[in-house]
Amino acid sequence: MTVAHPFHLLLALALAGAALASVAWLLRARRRAAYAYSDLAFLQAVATPPKWIERTLAAVGVLGVLALATAFAGPRMDLPVPVRDGSVVLCIDTSGSMASTDIAPTRYAAAQAAARAFVASTPPGTRIGLVAFSGSAVQVAPLQTDRAQLDAALDQLPPPNDATAIGDALALASRMLPPKGHRVIVLITDGVNNRGVDPLAQAQLLGARGVRLFTIGIGTQAGGVIPGTGEQATIDEDALRSYAQAAGGAYARAGSAGALRDALSRLGQVTAFERRNVDASFGFAVFGGLAIFGAALAAFALGRFP
């Protein structure tokens, strides 16, 4: 957290100290008044509050004063805030290995269904584009907010075939995104890059532009067999993790259709937020006011102060 007016923060600390001293004086005054009773033992038994209550109320009150005074110092914090005008490009692997059936009914069909869940879970204002890639990358749908058209575009994904050009998909997705704003790329792949430009170099370019990249590896631990070839379908998880890290995102592996759908649904919500340095004065003021009011109300209602 940073503050726009450091002097005001020093003032806040001084006010908190003054509040603590005032509370201590009130408690001492209450105890001195208690000595006026002739039956001190009886008074202590029925009228003296447990010290933990007094200390708790005092702490809450002082914390409230500190928070309220800090509000005037202009505190600023990095917080996740919702955005309704973000841009997301969903890159879906359609290479030959996506026909594998280790994820029912096929990896390709599971990716289609999960992409629909992703589209449904994003806020209405988010623009979404679709890229399919195998030996090359192709735009399936431009950035748009029309969910019905996006669903129709998912039906037009090319059937599984050919090699895996992850770098080409990232490069195409980058060109589809606007030059600024909240921008995200989600990459779904089950293969090892074996065609086109270097994916890591593309991921680093994305990071330099402020574009976040989330990667999802689809496939079971045992792996699958590429139909018609007998070759084993594998995932280069270290590479996918490095792509995501280079562009400020994260990597996850989905070993079932349900896990893939859940992962993309969560990402649909994640992509609707971004971290911004925001003015937290109002939050501190509200918390401080409520804390002071609550502590004072409880203290006087319980008769803790004279």
Domain locations in the chain?
2-78+278-301, 84-271
Number of helices (H) and strands (E) in the chain: give both, helices first.
10, 11
Per-position DSSP letters for 255-272, written without gaps between them: -SHHHHHHHHHHHHHHTT
Range with top average pLDDT, 52-61, 241-250, 259-268, 286-295: 241-250
Pair 191, 97: CB distance under 8 Å: yes
pLDDT tens for 30-84 read: 656 555 545 555 445 445 556 666 667 767 777 777 777 677 777 777 766 666 6
Pair 235, 95: CB distance under 8 Å: no
pTM: 0.69
d(CA 174, CA 16): 51
How many residues belong to the chain? 306
**Range with lowest mean pLDDT among 34-43, 61-70, 166-175, 254-263:** 34-43
Per-position DSSP letters for 186-240, written without gaps between them: EEEE-S---SSS-HHHHHHHHHHHT-EEEEEEES-SS-EE-TTT-PEE---HHHH
Pair 280, 1: CB distance under 8 Å: yes
Q: What's the mean pLDDT in 232-258?
A: 91
Average pLDDT, the chain: 81
**Range with lowest mean pLDDT among 10-24, 82-96, 114-128, 141-155:** 10-24
Q: What's the mean pLDDT in 279-306?
A: 69
Give the pLDDT score at 19.
64
Give the pLDDT score at 264.
84
pLDDT at 138 over 90: yes
pLDDT at 98 over 50: yes
d(CA 195, CA 163): 7
CATH of domain 84-271: 3.40.50.410
d(CA 124, CA 30): 59
Higher pLDDT pick, 305 / 72:
72
Q: What's the mean pLDDT in 115-130?
A: 90
| Closest by CA position to 69, among listed 295, 287, 270, 298 | 287
Give the pLDDT score at 227.
79
pLDDT tens for 182-214 read: 899 999 998 789 999 999 999 999 999 999 999
Question: Strand 75-82 and strand 232-233: pairing?
Answer: unpaired
